[in-house]
Amino acid sequence: MFAPLAHFALTSADGAAAHRAHNELHALYHWPELQSQPGVAWGERWVRDPACAAAGTKPAEGFDADYCAMYWLRAPALASAQAFEAHFARAAHLGMAEAPPRFADYMVPLKGYVRREPLVSDQALPFRPNKGIYLIVSRFRRHHDVESEDVFRWYDQVRIPDMLDCPGAAGAWTFSARSLYSPTRDLSQPVIRIQLFYLDGDPVAFADAVREAEGGWRKAGRSRDTSAVEDLLFAGPLRAIVPWRWSWFDGETGGAR
């Protein structure tokens, strides 16, 4: 595993000027500083612009965000995470802190998937250019019983391969919260799991393709209701961010709300 740990953050801004300042701060300060750290393998951000927001499901309370930032951290994971946190602590004392995220956590990579067409391994997939992602964040209320493990198996063997067959997909990675791996973990507590699909095609078109395919999957017996074990917190497309092209929310009073 090229990176045994990843950090996810979902953030928002309020108003066009705040969006531009938020993107400038991350793209021109945080991203290059973090990329220079030996413990950071790669980092990237994506935006949930108005078209993406309309194409996704309605997020749960506290997960209605405009941006997703994700960093892959190299071994030794603890040292890399400490250096990662130290960067933001130092930034705060320089007056360069970002707004508090709506969600942020360290996640353990579970498994990577690739379509044959991209011609890269799952380990190389995160470094490959993309046009955006389709992000799914779930809270599993149960995760160590027969039914929940059957749902995990269904995602791995059925749902993720089916989504990768939709036009525009390049590959995917799955993650679970690092807290699940603590020796003192409480298995009765919910756990966050993330599915991240890397896209070669337009993110909104991919979301539309997934929605259109759902009926066929249901008829073929390849769909299922997982609400007994998980709560869907966020599901939808986000676009890749190009520096200085930060006009998605110009003319609006705010971003995704």
Cα 156 to Cα 142, 150, 195, 213: the distances in Å are: 17, 10, 10, 18
Report pLDDT for 256. 41
Q: How open is the CA angle 246-248-254, to the nearest 5 degrees?
A: 105
* Range 5-240 classified under CATH 3.30.70: yes
pTM, entire model? 0.94
Report pLDDT for 252. 58
- The per-residue pLDDT string of the chain (257 residues; one tens digit each, 9 = 90 and over) reads 899 999 999 999 999 999 999 999 999 999 999 999 999 999 999 999 999 999 999 999 999 999 999 999 999 999 999 999 999 999 999 999 988 999 999 999 999 999 977 679 999 999 999 999 999 999 999 888 999 999 999 999 999 999 999 999 999 999 999 887 777 777 778 999 999 999 999 999 999 999 999 999 999 999 999 999 999 999 999 999 999 999 999 975 444 43
The first and second tokens of residue 254, run together, are 């705010």
Burial class, 92, CB count within 10 angstroms (exposed 0-12 / middle 13-18 / buried 19+): exposed
Give the integer Cα–Cα distance in Å for 2 and 112. Answer: 12
Give the integer Cα–Cα distance in Å for 120 and 112. Answer: 11
Q: How many CB atoms lie within 10 A of CB 86?
A: 11
Give the integer Cα–Cα distance in Å for 152 and 165. Answer: 19
Report pLDDT for 253. 45
Amino acid at 98: E
Cα 50 to Cα 56, 99, 255: the distances in Å are: 10, 20, 8
